[in-house]
Amino acid sequence: MSGAEKASPGVNDALDPSRALAPATVRLNEQVVARGFWPKIRKVAARVPFAAEALAAWYAVQDEETPAAAKGMMLAGLAYFVLPTDMIPDFIAGLGYTDDAAVFMAMLGLVGRHVRPRHREAARVAVERLRREE
């Protein structure tokens, strides 16, 4: 079975560099993430096991030292998480975030080396704070 066949539906499309790194797509993803990331992560931080990875990617995108191509791929993963339309609707109990998790794991496999310890630490602190707030 090829890597493409193993991936969850939609993962390959969401992280296709020919699409995700197109300047217009990067700008659109930046806007989507800027508007929707914090409201969404606040709502689901206690329920999704990949909240720390999502936040670490968000912090990496904010870092001027993160290369543009890595930011573009991270924005694609974050936008997939934020957008209400995805392969498996988020409201389906037990399954709703599996496609989002698959996108994050694939994205981190591609550009995770650009998520630095400082990003992970900021994410850990944010997750703890968000979970206390719920």
> Which pLDDT band holds residue 16 (cuts at 50, 70, 90)?
confident
Is 110 domain-assigned?
yes
Residue 12 to residue 40: CA distance in whole angstroms: 23
- 2 within domain boundaries: no
pLDDT at 88: 56
> Does any domain span residue 28?
yes
Cα distance between residue 76 and residue 71, in whole Å: 9
Tens of pLDDT, residue by residue over 51-62, are 999 999 999 999
Looking at per-residue confidence, does 118 or 7 come out higher?
118
> Count of domains in the chain?
1
Q: In Å, what is the CA distance from 42 to each residue of 38, 50, 51?
A: 6, 13, 10
Residue 104 has pLDDT above 80, yes or no: yes
Maximum Cα–Cα distance for the chain, whole Å?
Answer: 43
Q: What is the pLDDT of residues 77-100, one digit of tens each?
A: 999 898 876 555 555 555 667 888
Q: What percent of the chain has pLDDT over 70?
A: 80
> Domain limits at 114?
10-133
Q: Please report whether residue 23 resides in a domain.
A: yes
% of the chain surpassing 90 pLDDT: 52
The answer to the question of residue 1 being in a domain is: no
Decide if 21 is inside a domain: yes
88 within 8 A of 95, measured Cβ to Cβ: yes
Mean pLDDT of 30-54: 91
Report yes or no on 94 lying in a domain: yes
* AA letter at 12: N
Q: Does residue 3 fall inside a structural domain?
A: no
For the residues 15-22, what does the mean pLDDT come to? 79
